[in-house]
A and B are shown apart, each in its own frame.
Chain A
Amino acid sequence: MITQEVVDLSRLQFAATAFYHFLFVPLTLGLSFLLAIMETVYVMTGKEIYRDMTKFWGKLFGINFALGVTTGITMEFQFGTNWAYYSHYVGDIFGAPLAIEGLMAFFLESTFIGLFFFGWNKLSKRRHLLITYLTAIGSNLSAVWILIANGWMQNPVGSQFSYVTMRMEMTSFKDLVFNPAAQAKFVHTVSAGYVTGSMFVLGISAWYMLKGRDIEFAKRSFRIAAAFGFASAMSVIVLGDESGYAVTEHQQTKLAALEGMWKTEPAPASFTLFAIPDDEKRENRAEIKIPYALGLIATRSANTQIPGIDELEARAVERIKSGIIAVKALEKLRAKTADDATKADFETHKADLGYGLLLKKYTADVSLATPEMIAQAARNSIPRVAPMFWTFRIMVVLGFSFFALFALSFWYSAKNTFQEKRWLLRWAVWFIPLPWIASEMGWFVAEYGRQPWTIFGILPTHLSTSTISVNSLYGSIAGFMFFYTGLLVVEMYLMFKYARLGPSSLGTGRYAGEAVPALKSAQ
């Protein structure tokens, strides 16, 4: 029996493991290209220091990559173990990009990462460079397909429901791949990864410079990270705006929630800079608004209206009522007692089938739904405002601050005075963890904002789970907590250990600290 507790625990487990997975993904995406850039410089100039840079940052990349892969397996497993009905209902569409991801991207990156580490002496310079590029391309292709799958959850195009097989079936692969929601998400997400990778290299290099060690190594790394990070931070903002535009079109509930827009305003709507949203009273306190800004940003026009939450709920009530007819007709079709009139009913109302299914949370037989239940379901069709409002704003503020830091770093590295600007270096060190926070906030906005759906407008979250017991869920969550905490401790230990060791960990005898053991024993 699927209870609310099963649904909540399944969501908690998926959210926790997904957040955890995404601690490792952005660094893989960003660092892989930084490695490719460093190695390109090495192959072009023949300067050994660039090879050492590639190797050293590659070591840190490897520590991170191992956990990215490990936690990624969890994600794919969970669709089967915890979201069985989801897998049945949309596997026909959702499965294809995941399978292609494995075939096209995952095999590529995981084969070549092996050669990246073990092939330094067995391959020619150019061949090894090719390997590094293929690893980078592989991990980014991986992101393409995963985000196509995710984009479809947000904006389910190219598919339709079949009552014989009781599932969604693909009608156009092209629509699925070129889903505007997926495209915007992909570029926004990989740019965020590039920012993360750049900030990582920038911060650690800055730390070496503050410590006055491995200066040549750190300066070169800093410059590359500053340039790449500057471009990426710019693109993350521009493409985040594009992503927001896609949301305006396809997910009005998400937009209304993250803007805390309770009432429809005359176009162009104002942008709420600050407010304390109150989900109970359905209003914002202490609002600071910028007139017209939201309407212009989100719709890119001066006269398109953005619906507020009240209006969206009223629309949801209508769709739920229409959905009830679809659900009833579907039950007859399944029982093979449907006449032509029922079939016609189903065809007319099937676009609202998902809205009818929303009522299954309150009653097994949707035709018995009371007006209160319908009102409640409509209310729950909007994600809660306060969490959306805040996470979105934290993400945006962080995004702009990254841009500012990279702009300064780039400016001073062009003038070649950055090593004297100790305040800048200190800021760079403090900024290291922030891109992760921004990325996780971004995912929160995207996925929490999709509620109460797993597939937006099609399949409600509370119908998507497996029929598993609460006990086995507690067991699996405890297991994940145990293993994941252990793995994180080990990974952080290694990261800090190798970041502290710096390039001396390569054992070339050219870097700071390598003669230290002898000195220490002398003291």
Chain B
Amino acid sequence: MLIVLWALFFRPVGFDYRSKVADPRWRSAWDWGLFIGGSVPALIFGVAFGNLLQGVPFHFEDNLMPVYTGTFWGLLNPFALLSGAVSLSMLTFHGANYLMIRTEGDVYARARKASLIFGTLMLAAFTIAGIWVASDMPGYVITSVVDPGALPNPLDKTVEIQTGAWLDNFVRHPALWAVPGAAFAGGLLALLFAWAKKPVLAFIASGVAELGVIGTAGVAMFPFIMPSSSDPRSSLTVWDSVSSHLTLEVMFWAALIFTPIVITYTGWAYKMMAGKVTNAYIETNDHSAY
């Protein structure tokens, strides 16, 4: 997580500082900073998800003090890195489609090329990860009776590890196959639209693909949030990671009120700034932009 944090450092600073000194080396250094700030977290979030799917070696002590017993390098295992590749290519794909909407000329052509490459990569990596999970990956199953209304205590249950168990939810509710389906359909359509130079449609389709990819992992793991590979009983599920009733209620109302407001003003901000960013626009606003 610290790697993510240090990489994230470069983002706000990079955006603001890159034009502050008129030296190409300064600009290029901050652009590399922005590159790291964007790509490293995208990769690491995928790596984290890959580790969650496999289970993480940790347990709770009696006073519910969590103890991690693995190593740092253990987190960078092959499946986790594959998951990292899924998330990095997925986000680059989506970003490239957005860039196609906002630009023209050279930048547009490069964005289109990136979109086609990373879209293909994403679909390939996602497929391999899917086969891996289905054939060879241990999943987790709760074997005791669950009372979702009880006060959360992660140590009050028993959990077993079974190969292929991450597919149980799909087998039990076949309609859920639509979620990975959306990932594939969205990805393929987005590739097609990017190729056909329809960036808005490509952007929407790659958005659907993102929901599908993240949703697939969520459906597979439900109700687990963070399974423990060394002490399965300590695994965190949605039922024993919750806050108290009152806190949830407060947050429910806060989210219900503020999320639409945030979406509205963010949408308004995008609308205000909409339109192609052209060379001419950048030149006329050289000093006033920031």
B143 on interface, CB distance cutoff 8 Å? no
**Cβ contacts under 8 Å, A96 to chain B:** 243, 247, 250-251, 254
Task: Report the bound CA distance from A81 to B114 in whole Å.
Answer: 35
Give B39-62 as 1s and 0s: 1 = Cβ < 8 Å from A's Cβ atoms. Answer: 000000000000000000000001
**Cβ contacts under 8 Å, A74 to chain B:** 5
Pick the residue among A69, A80, A112, A505 that contacts B269 (CB under 8 A).
A112
Return the chain A residue nearest B289 by Cβ.
A118
Give A501-521 as 1s and 0s: 1 = Cβ < 8 Å from B's Cβ atoms. Answer: 000011110000000000000
A171 on interface, CB distance cutoff 8 Å? yes
- Cβ contact within 8 Å between A170 and B258: no
A387 on interface, CB distance cutoff 8 Å? no
Task: Report the bound CA distance from A486 to B243 in whole Å.
Answer: 39
Task: Report the bound CA distance from A467 to B60 in whole Å.
Answer: 11
Task: Report the bound CA distance from A85 to B63 in whole Å.
Answer: 9
Task: Report the bound CA distance from A331 to B64 in whole Å.
Answer: 12
Among B1, B243, B255, the most chain A Cβ lie within 10 Å of the Cβ of B243
**Cβ contacts under 8 Å, A122 to chain B:** 272-273
Are A121 and B285 CB-contacts (below 8 A) given A92-B243, A115-B272, A169-B247?
Answer: yes
Return the chain A residue nearest B2 by Cβ.
A476
Pick the residue among B8, B20, B254, B259 that contacts A63 (CB under 8 A).
B20
- Cβ contact within 8 Å between A103 and B255: yes
- Cβ contact within 8 Å between A115 and B63: no
Return the chain A residue nearest B64 by Cβ.
A166
Are A70 and B66 CB-contacts (below 8 A) given A96-B251, A118-B289, A164-B151?
Answer: no
Pick the residue among A67, A100, A170, A173 that contacts B13 (CB under 8 A).
A67
Return the chain A residue nearest B281 by Cβ.
A121
Task: Report the bound CA distance from A479 to B17 in whole Å.
Answer: 21
Task: Report the bound CA distance from A63 to B16 in whole Å.
Answer: 7
**Cβ contacts under 8 Å, A100 to chain B:** 251, 254, 258
Give A454-494 as 1s and 0s: 1 = Cβ < 8 Å from B's Cβ atoms. Answer: 00000000000011100010001001000100010010001
Pick the residue among A165, A467, A476, A479 that contacts B151 (CB under 8 A).
A165
**Cβ contacts under 8 Å, A171 to chain B:** 246
- Cβ contact within 8 Å between B246 and A173: yes
Task: Report the bound CA distance from A472 to B64 in whole Å.
Answer: 22
Give B252-290 as 1s and 0s: 1 = Cβ < 8 Å from A's Cβ atoms. Answer: 001100110010011001001100000000000111111
- Cβ contact within 8 Å between B64 and A63: no
Nearest CB in chain B: distance from A415 CB, A: 36
- Cβ contact within 8 Å between B287 and A507: yes
B9 on interface, CB distance cutoff 8 Å? yes
- Cβ contact within 8 Å between B254 and A66: no
B32 on interface, CB distance cutoff 8 Å? no
Count class of interface residues, chain A: 35 or more
- Cβ contact within 8 Å between A66 and B17: yes
- Cβ contact within 8 Å between B62 and A334: yes
Count class of interface residues, chain B: 35 or more
Task: Report the bound CA distance from A121 to B290 in whole Å.
Answer: 12
Nearest CB in chain B: distance from A271 CB, A: 41
Task: Report the bound CA distance from A114 to B247 in whole Å.
Answer: 32
Return the chain B residue nearest A331 by Cβ.
B62
Nearest CB in chain A: distance from B266 CB, A: 6
A178 on interface, CB distance cutoff 8 Å? no
Pick the residue among B1, B17, B265, B286 that contacts A507 (CB under 8 A).
B286
Pick the residue among A95, A111, A487 that contacts B9 (CB under 8 A).
A487
Task: Report the bound CA distance from A494 to B17 in whole Å.
Answer: 8
Task: Report the bound CA distance from A275 to B6 in whole Å.
Answer: 44
**Cβ contacts under 8 Å, B246 to chain A:** 169-173
Taking CB atoms and an 8 Å cut-off, the chain A residues in 153-179 that contact chain B are: 162, 164-167, 169-173
A254 on interface, CB distance cutoff 8 Å? no
- Cβ contact within 8 Å between B247 and A483: no
Give B151-188 as 1s and 0s: 1 = Cβ < 8 Å from A's Cβ atoms. Answer: 11100000000000000000000000000000000000
Among A165, A476, A505, the most chain B Cβ lie within 10 Å of the Cβ of A165
**Cβ contacts under 8 Å, B289 to chain A:** 117-118
**Cβ contacts under 8 Å, A468 to chain B:** 68
Taking CB atoms and an 8 Å cut-off, the chain B residues in 107-144 that contact chain A are: none
**Cβ contacts under 8 Å, B68 to chain A:** 467-468
A430 on interface, CB distance cutoff 8 Å? no
- Cβ contact within 8 Å between B269 and A120: no
Are A55 and B288 CB-contacts (below 8 A) given A77-B5, A165-B152?
Answer: yes
- Cβ contact within 8 Å between B247 and A115: no
Are A66 and B16 CB-contacts (below 8 A) given A164-B153, A507-B286?
Answer: yes
Task: Report the bound CA distance from A258 to B262 in whole Å.
Answer: 43
Nearest CB in chain B: distance from A77 CB, A: 5
Among B62, B153, B266, B290, the most chain A Cβ lie within 10 Å of the Cβ of B290
**Cβ contacts under 8 Å, B273 to chain A:** 114-115, 118-119, 122
Task: Report the bound CA distance from A334 to B65 in whole Å.
Answer: 13
**Cβ contacts under 8 Å, B196 to chain A:** none
A108 on interface, CB distance cutoff 8 Å? yes
**Cβ contacts under 8 Å, A334 to chain B:** 62-63
**Other than the known A122-B272, A123-B272, A494-B20, what 20 A-B pairs have Cβ atoms closer than 8 Å?**
A66-B15, A74-B5, A77-B1, A88-B66, A91-B243, A96-B247, A96-B254, A100-B251, A103-B254, A107-B262, A107-B266, A108-B262, A117-B289, A122-B273, A170-B247, A468-B68, A487-B9, A497-B21, A498-B20, A507-B288
19 A-B residue contacts at CB 8 Å?
A: A63-B16, A66-B15, A66-B16, A77-B2, A85-B66, A95-B243, A99-B251, A114-B269, A114-B273, A119-B272, A121-B285, A164-B151, A165-B151, A166-B63, A169-B243, A334-B63, A467-B68, A468-B68, A498-B20
Q: When A and B form their complex, which 9 residue pairs have the shortest distance between CB atoms, in order from nearest? A: A507-B287, A66-B16, A169-B244, A164-B151, A117-B290, A69-B12, A166-B64, A103-B258, A66-B12
